[in-house]
Amino acid sequence: MQVTETLSEGLKREYAVSIPVAELETKVNARLEELKDKVRINGFRPGKVPVAHLKKVYGRSAMAEVIEASVRDVNQKIVTDNNFKLAADPKVTLPSEEGEVEKLITGGSDLQYTVGIEIVPEIKLGDFKSIKLTKLTTDVTDAEIDEAVERIAKQNRPYAAKAEGAKAETGDRVIISFVGTIDGKPFEGGTGDDIAVEIGSGTFIPGFEDQLIGIAAGENRTVKAKFPERYANAELAGKDAEFATTAKSIEAPGEVTVDDEFAKQLGLESLAKLREAVKERIGRDYQQMSRQKVKRALLDELDKLHKFDLPPTLAEDEFNRVWSSVTEELKAENKTFADENTTEEKAKEEYRAIAERRVRLGLVLAEIGEKNKITVGDEELSRAVAERARQFAGQEQRVWDYYRQNPDALASLRAPIFEEKVVDFLLELADVTDKKVSREELMKEEEEAEGA
């Protein structure tokens, strides 16, 4: 076997490989010897089939197996001998001309191919103890707990039918049936029966609920409304629609007394326990916001500390994923780059920078994890699968089976767990200062970050 390096340019390597036909034949004969005791051929006793006869029957398939295994083994040896970290799967170029392939499969020529390899650069990690971060935190106030409990009470208030002939008012619940049309034609999803609409809740498209004010049970009314420009269904976005609507009943909200009895209806022991649960939930939301902000700041610092050439394939693949998402979203919203006050060229430049940052940070986090032996254990992965399974009530077993049978899907669960563990490791090393801020400040900072 002969391996010759033919290209060493940046992070790209290319090798010409030649494996003598005699070496291939030796492996083929060994493979056929293995088959002697396994195959059954008429006219021969088990284990007594001559290798020459086996070669006539199985020679081509055995050679194909040997070629595949040889290419895989040689490529792995190249990677191991050179201590490479691959950025992508090796690109193998085998003989393609029919005559050459036939000679190779029938044992008439050496195996000659080229393999292109793209490697991950050596990454010199920065001094993480030099990173200074500010972590914004906030306390849950009694006023916020009061507001949340009031919302819960409102969501759980009883409704009772209003007197015959009564008109619907803001806050009332109207049970309706409707048939929607656009330009006189019905559209998918535009029909509903026995649908409860709380006037003023903002659950329906803008303008719909307000036009139910004053309607009485049994009354028919045409409601005209326009779908939002950013509506989920691109075919309906921004279009005017009419809904032939019938009110079946008008219901007025009742009063709810927020006390221990109300808390018990929700499955809690007392009002104090309800308030405690609400406080914990709000607190978790704030902690998540705080975590995301300090993580984003940490990633910004890591990006500043590490500058190196990126594997071209990784960068291009990530850009293609990002760009595909961007263009699909624009298409779904029926928009152009001009609507976003930019051009396609400028947008590509911006999103390419985003893609390159993602690849760079991904490589840095992977290097940190490897150098510091940070791994994701089976128990952690099982918990992640269990959490995903809980999201699909009644289909838990199917979810478990899916992840067990799909390594790529399992890897998609492992990746974010690994990332969070590396972030935790770095936050322990970095100089992190807590800063108390108001809820409004925390939310404002979050909104600004999202819009950046």
Question: Mind listing the pLDDT tens digit for each residue in 161-214?
Answer: 999 999 999 999 999 999 999 999 999 989 999 999 999 999 999 999 999 999
Over 80: is that where the pLDDT of 313 sits? Answer: yes
Task: Determine the pLDDT at residue 393.
Answer: 82
Over 90: is that where the pLDDT of 16 sits? Answer: yes
Tens-digit pLDDT profile for residues 61-113? 888 999 999 999 999 999 999 999 999 999 999 988 888 888 888 888 999 99
119 confidence band (pLDDT: 50, 70, 90): very high
Over 80: is that where the pLDDT of 452 sits? Answer: no
40 confidence band (pLDDT: 50, 70, 90): low
Side-chain half-sphere of 246: how many Cα atoms within 13 Å?
A: 8
> Which of 193, 190, 174 has its CA nearest to residue 182?
190
Task: Determine the pLDDT at residue 354.
Answer: 96
CA distance 352 to 344: 12
CA distance 243 to 128: 60
Tens-digit pLDDT profile for residues 245-274? 999 999 999 999 999 999 999 999 999 999
Task: Determine the pLDDT at residue 49.
Answer: 62
Write down all domains in the chain, each with its CATH number in brackets: 2-118 (3.30.70.1050), 158-253 (3.10.50.40), 268-451 (1.10.3120.10)
Task: Determine the pLDDT at residue 38.
Answer: 62
Over 50: is that where the pLDDT of 451 sits? Answer: no
| Phi, psi of 61, deg, nearest 5 | -65, -35
Over 50: is that where the pLDDT of 216 sits? Answer: yes
**What's the mean pLDDT in 403-423?**
94
Tens-digit pLDDT profile for residues 365-397? 999 999 999 999 999 999 999 999 999 888 889
Tens-digit pLDDT profile for residues 286-311? 999 999 999 999 999 999 999 999 99
**What's the mean pLDDT in 321-332?**
91
Are 105 and 60 in contact, with CB atoms under 8 Å apart? Answer: yes
Over 80: is that where the pLDDT of 41 sits? Answer: no
Over 90: is that where the pLDDT of 47 sits? Answer: no
Q: How far apart are the first and last CA of the chain?
A: 55
Over 70: is that where the pLDDT of 276 sits? Answer: yes
Residue of higher predicted confidence among 55 and 106: 106
Over 80: is that where the pLDDT of 51 sits? Answer: no
